[in-house]
Structure formats: C-alpha cells, structure tokens
Chains A and B, each alone.
Chain A
Amino acid sequence: MAIVFAKEQKPIEMRAVYQNTLFEILRDNPQVVVMDADLVGASGTAKVFKEFPDRCINMGISEANMIGAAAGMSLVGKVPIIHTFAPFATRRVYDQLYLSGAYQKANLRIYGSDPGFTSGHNGGTHTSVEDLALMRVMPTATVLAPADATQFAWLLKETSKNYGIFYIRASRKGLRDIYDSSSTFEIGKGVVLSEGSDVVIFAIGEMIAEALNAKAELEKVGLSVAVVDMFTVKPIDVDLVKKMIVGKKVVVTAENHSKIGGLGSAVAEIMSEEGSGVKLRRVAINDRFGEVGLPNYLQKTYGLTADDIINAVKEAL
C-alpha cells in the first residue's frame, strides 16, 4: 500500500476508467475475457469490444447464463470480468453467483454499476440497495466499493491477478478524486484519509466525498473528525476499525446502500463484539426501495448527504 492523495480534481467517468483499464488488462493477460449482458453501450466499452472481438463477449440479456458461462470459462483457465447494473449483477443472479461461482470455487470479477442513488432515471426497478449485504453473506466472496477512479482501476487490475469471487460496485459516473494515480492499495485494508480525535466516519464510494465535506463543517464547530475509506467491505479491516474507534465520542458509517447488511452492519458487528460502548450512527438507506429521479435528488431523498452525516453526529452528541 502506497497512498498519495490527489492534489487536484480532474475526475473522469468510472465507465471510461473501466474501458481504459480493460484495454490494459486484456493486453497484459491473454486469459482475460470480458462479458456484458447487452449493456456495452451503457458501460462505455464499445471500443474495447471492437478491438478484442473474441475475448469480449456480449452475452445478450441473459444474466444468469452470463454468470454460469463465465464460471465455466474460469474452470478451464479463463479470467472473466463481468459487468451489468448492480441489481442484475447480484440479486437477479444470486444463486448462479453462489453455486456456479463461489460454491465450486470459480474465478469471477463482477462490476455491478450504478448502485443506490446513482441509478438515477432508471428508477426503482434498476436500483440496488442490498448488493453489499447479499455479497457479504456469500462465503469466500470479496466485496469492494472503490472510492474513486484510481482505486477502481487498481482494483480491476489487482483482482484480475487473483483467484476468487470479487464483487466491485461503483457508479458509472465520475467520483471526486481522492487518490493520486500513483497510489497502490491492499485488499482488506482501509485507508485513513484524515485523522481526528472526536468522531470517526467510515465511508465508501460516493459517501467519501460527503464524509470529507461533513468533516470540514464539523471542524468549524470544534470537532476533530477522522475519515476512513473502507473500500473493502468484506473482508472488513477489523484491526483498523478497532483502532479507529478508540476514544471516539461517535462512530459514523456512510454508504450508498441499505442500513441493513452493508458497511454499517459490518462495523456494528466489530464494535459490539469489542464491547466498545461508543455510539454508532449509520448514514445509509433506511430499509426502503429505490425510486426514479436525478441522482442528487435521490441522494437527498435517501438521506445520504454531508448534512445527513453532520446531523447524525450532532444528534448522537
């Protein structure tokens, strides 16, 4: 792990990161195959599908077969990277991922795009608020939620060198740059973005920018706030959680996901086993379905803004 923080903001769309990184991975490893379920246009991968017409396979609108066929390919040495929208990549194909994938030790990387409020105008039918929970409870699965473009690219490359079931959830749109492109990470290890003594916010994905904004506001009223990027939701970095909660008045988790089963639950499990006695506030989607609207409207509606984090801290104090 070698972290260098971004010095300037020049965010690129995650789907551009996806395609650019696929080019690199496909050139580096002849065993890699890329699969999509008729969302090549949506995932912005048309160029890479054109340049690698054999190894990039459009499976059509058949997600169950896509997961099974990918698992089969992996059993004879292929390294599949699969994309579809987060709800179709997880809840629609859960048994395929579970049995054809994890149970028989196949080798899959699944990019589930546009989770939570980022599904925007696709609306409630295309919204996943439970993908992290589903994937967390699947034995052996590694569950990842990158913070920005640099981390997303690194995770795609890193998981392509590893064997197992890797679920990567990320928006297709740009996220605030957290890391300089020279940064490297370690799966299973969170990254402390800033230290602080009163409050610690464990955040993932889109919620890292909100956590950093909340920190700036809370420091104006005299609170010292730590922010941690917990991009590996499973296996969760137990040691880091234990270390960061010591002496804090409030612990906050922030995720673009249901309050049940995701990052907040993972942190709560550690805190309760530790008998930490520290208050926990989970800023997350409160056990409800998604709906249609602009992402920033949905973000407010679901209670996932910096203000929601600030209010949670103030209420707890």
Chain B
Amino acid sequence: MSENLPLFSAQIRLETCKMLAHRGFGHLGGALSIVETLSVLFGEKMNIDPKNPNWDQRDYFVLSKGHAGPSYYSTLALKGYFPTEVLYTLNENGTNLPSHPDRLKTIGVDTTTGSLGQGISLAVGIAKALKLDNKPNKVYSIVGDGECNEGQVWEAFQFAAHQKLDNLIVFIDENHKQLDGLTVDVSNPFDLRAKMEAFGFYALRVDGSIEKAISEAIDDCFAHQGQALCIVLDTIKGQGVEFFEKLVDNHHIRFAADSKSELDKAIVELEEVVSKGGAV
C-alpha cells in the first residue's frame, strides 16, 4: 500500500528529530538528507512485509552511509517493524538501536553497515546472488557523497557495472558535506553523475527533497534493464529543517542552547505538518 509520501516524509523527519532530541546528540545532518528517499522506498517502491521481516521475496535495503541510522530506524518503526517508543532507546546501553545499523540487533535491518565503503559491497553481493537465482527481488542502497572518498565504493561500482546489476539502484546522497566540511573542500567528488556514467551506469541526478522526482527516477532506472543503475540525489545536509540546513557543522550535533531550542521548534512545526496530513 502506497503512503501519502509528503506526509510519510514529515513523519520520518519528525521521529528522527524526536529521537535525537531525546538522546541529546546524533548524526542529524546526514539522516535528514535521505528522508525523502526513505519515504519513497519504504512508502511506495519496496516490496516488504513488516510483519514478516525475513520474507524471502522482500526487496533489500542497504544503508551504506550507516551513520544515517536514525532516519532509517524511524522509517522502520513507522512501517511497523517495531514500536516507535523503541526509537528513544537509540544508543542507550544494551540497546537494539546502535548509531550504525546492525542486522543482528534491529528487526528489519538487512545488513550491518557503518564502516564507510563496505555497505555498497554487501549490496552488490546481494544483488548478484539474487540474479544468480533468477529472483525478482530488488536491492536499494544509499551511499554518501563523502563515503565516495572510500576506494572500496568504486570497486563495488565497477563490479555492479561489469555484472550489469540492473536489480540494484545505487543512490548517492549528494548532500555536499562530510564530517570535516564541504566535500569540494575536503576531497572534491567532481561530477558524480558523470563519473557514474563513465563507470558504465545509467545515471540520473534528481532533487532529493522531492518524492515525485525520486519516484520517477526509480521507474526510469528500472526501464533501463541490462545496465547498472544510479540515482544521484541532490540534497542538503540537515534537509527539511532550515536552521540545521544552514548550520555549518551539522554532521554530528550535540544539542545545546540555540540548536536545542531550534530542534524543539522543528519538532513543533513538524507535528503541525503531520497533523495537517503532510501539507506545508
């Protein structure tokens, strides 16, 4: 059943802000930039059954940029994999919600990720295995633009292209920042779409804050069979909460003073958006 995607995005964003407000710190920026993509995937595209998380006909999701765990967890909770109250246990001693996803701890998480560069290899492996078995399941993986500093990512891309893994969509979340600053300043990624095309992918670039654009890009990709598929998401680190979009150092935030009151304000605003059914 397809969700009202703008509403689902607002709900994911709200739960993500609430869980990090409760914890007092966390990877807010990179979690928020993928909210709309999570919304489209889990709200519309993915063949999943939250009541049966190990269903063998499910589509797989690999969050290669594992530090965005909080919005992933929010999405899973909202889909009913586990109660939303569990979100408040993020990073508590003994929790099932570590800051980076762990398939052995969290219901609905397919792969353990967080050491950057490794998730995308898991994703290409899953996609290859499914192809070997002629299975129709799809695989979706989100890689960070900063994560593309890792050489392993490019090994995995080359493998995906060589093997023509057209059952996998590689999303690159181009939120233009990494921990130490702008990607162009730390290690310039240049034109990611052109690079992916040069690697042999059918590669698109869309506004990663617009559900419709993401959804159409996914359909466009799957219409191009016989080739590896990539969607570069043009996003903003901290997407959807103006204060955090503008905050320079927004990779991992300890909420205090201004940032705490701004986060609380965002929660109130998002609650209002959600109560109105997603309309802004």
Contact = CB atoms under 8 A, between A and B. Distances in A.
B115 A99 contact: yes
* Residue from A33, A55, A75, A103 having most chain B Cβ neighbours under 10 A: A75
A99 B113 CA distance: 8
B40 interface: no
B112 A68 contact: no
B132 A78 contact: yes
Interface of B: prevailing SS: helix
A124 to B, nearest CB: 23
B156 A54 contact: no
B102 interface: yes
A64 B150 CA distance: 11
A6 B121 CA distance: 43
B159 A77 contact: no
Contact of A68 (B60, B114, B121): B121
Contacts of A96: 118, 121, 152
A224 interface: no
Nearest to A63: B155
Contacts of B127: 72
A65 B165 CA distance: 15
Instruction: Sort chain B's interface into a size bin.
Output: 20 to 34
Interface in A198-222: none
A71 B104 contact: no
Interface string A92-113: 0001100110011100000000
Contacts of A99: 112, 114-115, 118
B118 A100 contact: yes
Contacts of B111: 72, 75, 104
B112 A72 contact: no
A59 interface: yes
A151 B255 CA distance: 59
A67 to B, nearest CB: 7
Given A55-B132, A104-B104, A62 B158 contact: yes
B156 A73 contact: no
Given A62-B158, A62-B159, A100-B118, A68 B125 contact: yes
Interface string B103-133: 1100000111011011011111111111010
Contacts of A1: none
Contacts of A59: 159
B152 A64 contact: yes
A57 B165 CA distance: 14
Given A65-B152, A69-B156, A103 B112 contact: yes
A65 B129 contact: no
Nearest to A55: B132
Closest 8 CB pairs of A and B: A68-B121, A72-B125, A69-B125, A104-B112, A65-B155, A62-B155, A72-B122, A73-B129
Interface of B: 60, 62, 102-104, 110-112, 114-115, 117-118, 120-130, 132, 151-152, 155-156, 158-159, 162
Interface of A: 33, 54-55, 57, 59-60, 62, 64-65, 67-78, 95-96, 99-100, 103-105
Given A64-B118, A69-B122, A69-B159, 6 more contacts: A33-B129, A65-B159, A68-B118, A68-B122, A96-B118, A104-B111
17 contacts: A57-B128, A60-B162, A65-B155, A69-B125, A69-B156, A69-B159, A71-B122, A72-B62, A72-B111, A73-B126, A75-B111, A76-B130, A99-B114, A100-B118, A103-B112, A104-B111, A104-B112
